[in-house]
Homo-oligomer: A and B are copies of this chain.
Amino acid sequence: MASPEEQLSITPGTFHSLDRFSNAWYDRGAPCWKEILWRVVSYLWFEGRMPLPSAWRVFWLRVFGARVGDHVVIRAKVTITMPWRLTLGDHVWIGEEVFILSLGEVSIGSHSVISQRAFLCCGSHDYRSTDFKLLQRPIRIGQQAWIAAQAFVGEGVQIGDGTVVTAGSVVTHDIPAGVIVRGNPAVVVKPRPRANS
């Protein structure tokens, strides 16, 4: 294969040019001092590997504007970019090494689980624009859903109630309720059985 450099004659902006990038239009949803304080709190009590009571982490999420239900579990080594864009129902579990890039609103319904190393990524870029425009649509995860370990959920994705995104799956489109998805790209493999108890 010819080297990439030999294949195209490009100039800045043929595809995109990062010196045209600007997120000045983007409403960060919080004043600068609040972002800085959150960074400190995140550094001390979220991203670190110290086991701490979930109640302590939930307390700080609420202080910074997250809507958080009852009986929420948040493990160590969790990154949440902007807690003021986070809504968690009751009985939500967030596992170790979960990354929630909440540049857009992230809502997770009651009884839903985000397992270890999963990545909810609300940020993207418009690769059709020469300024590599920031995209940041919401991620909405229904109730009784399960985003299993190391799964990736992309910007703007809605996951229906009860749906299971199996481990390592990569989801970049909406997924209806009550199904099991698998793979990269993730596809629906079967309906999820409902309890009859």
Whether A117 pairs with B99 at a CB distance below 8 angstroms is yes
A106: Cβ under 8 A from any B Cβ? no
With A15-B195, A16-B195 in contact, do A184 and B170 touch (Cβ < 8 Å)? yes
Enumerate chain B residues within 8 angstroms of A3, measured Cβ to Cβ.
140, 158
Copies in the complex: 3
With A113-B132, A116-B101, A184-B184 in contact, do A162 and B192 touch (Cβ < 8 Å)? no
Chain A facing B: main interface SS: loop
Enumerate chain B residues within 8 angstroms of A149, measured Cβ to Cβ.
101, 119, 121, 152
A1 nearest CB neighbor, chain B only: B174
- Enumerate A4-46 residues with CB–CB distance to B below 8 Å: 4-5, 7-8, 10, 12-19, 39, 42-43
Whether A5 pairs with B152 at a CB distance below 8 angstroms is no
A84: Cβ under 8 A from any B Cβ? no
The number of chain A residues touching the other chain, given as a range, is 35 or more
Enumerate chain B residues within 8 angstroms of A19, measured Cβ to Cβ.
71, 91, 111
Whether A18 pairs with B125 at a CB distance below 8 angstroms is no
A169: Cβ under 8 A from any B Cβ? yes
